[in-house]
Amino acid sequence: MSEEPAFKRALLKLSGEAFQGGLEFGIDLTMLNRFASEIAEVAATGVELAVVVGAGNIFRGVNASKQGLDRVAADYMGMLATILNCVALQDALEKTGTPTRVLSAIEVPQICEPYIRRRAMRHLEKGRVVIFAAGTGNPYFSTDMAAALRAAEIGAEVILKATKVDGVYDSDPVTNPGAVKYERLTHMEVLRNNLRVMDATAISLCMDEDLPVIVFNLLETGNVKKAIMGENIGTRVVVE
Ligand code: UDP
């Protein structure tokens, strides 16, 4: 394994569910601290790292809207919920001694900075982990879309999409023991076969911007660093 990171700048997407750990809802502090130490280890390699955090552990707009809440209101609630996760992650990261900034697409000036692209780039250049909160700031989108958008905006070379399984399969490996894992896929194959990597809007943007996505298992300790160091883990989604 080479000592140098394989990427200069990368964006890590953590789902809200990952924060939930063994809980029914909310933030499992043991998991939070584990992710923070993994991220700290990666930041120490010198890679410029941005993180987008979801909110499925707290609130998902689309679910609430199915139960009768106005979709736009529900999505704003989902975006606000991401801020909770981001503030928690910032705290855990700073306890490891890793300088971190939270930049939010919805302004909450008492809590974090507003999202300003140039500011985000400056923080990254200074070696701070940048956490993007509140998704894209727009309803009807997801935090996967926010990951694709921010990665494109800041010129990240890769999106590391952390999940609960060790890559992309042709069917659900939890229910089908014969499911086959893909080593490599194109964005177009993901779209055509409706594979569950990211939502179609997010994958389309990655395809247009030639942004590779590495899908890997976050629950295996050390995987974020392996992905950053260029080790062959999970599934790689590439343009060609
Ligand atoms: N959300 C939104 N716009 C965005 C990003 C997120 O409206 O740009 C809302 C949406 O309601 C979503 C919720 O925030 O359900 C939480 O995000 P997501 O479901 O992507 O979280 P994850 O699945 O990664 O935990």
Query: Which region, left, alpha or beta, applies to residue 167 given φ > 0 means left and ψ of -120 to 50 means alpha?
Result: left
Which residue owns the Cα nearest ligand 1 atom 21? 54
Query: What tokens were used for 71?
Result: 């979709």
Pocket of ligand 1 from Cβ distances under 6 Å: 15-17, 54-56, 60-62, 74-75, 78-79, 82, 135-136, 138-139, 141-146
Digit-coded pLDDT (tens) for 125-174: 999 999 999 999 999 999 999 999 999 999 999 999 999 889 999 988 88
Digit-coded pLDDT (tens) for 25-72: 999 999 999 999 999 999 999 999 999 999 999 999 889 989 999 999
Q: 105: which DSSP letter?
A: S
Beta strands in 123-212 (DSSP E): 129-133, 158-163, 168-169, 181-182, 184-186
In sequence order, the β-bridge partners of residue 52 are: 13, 132
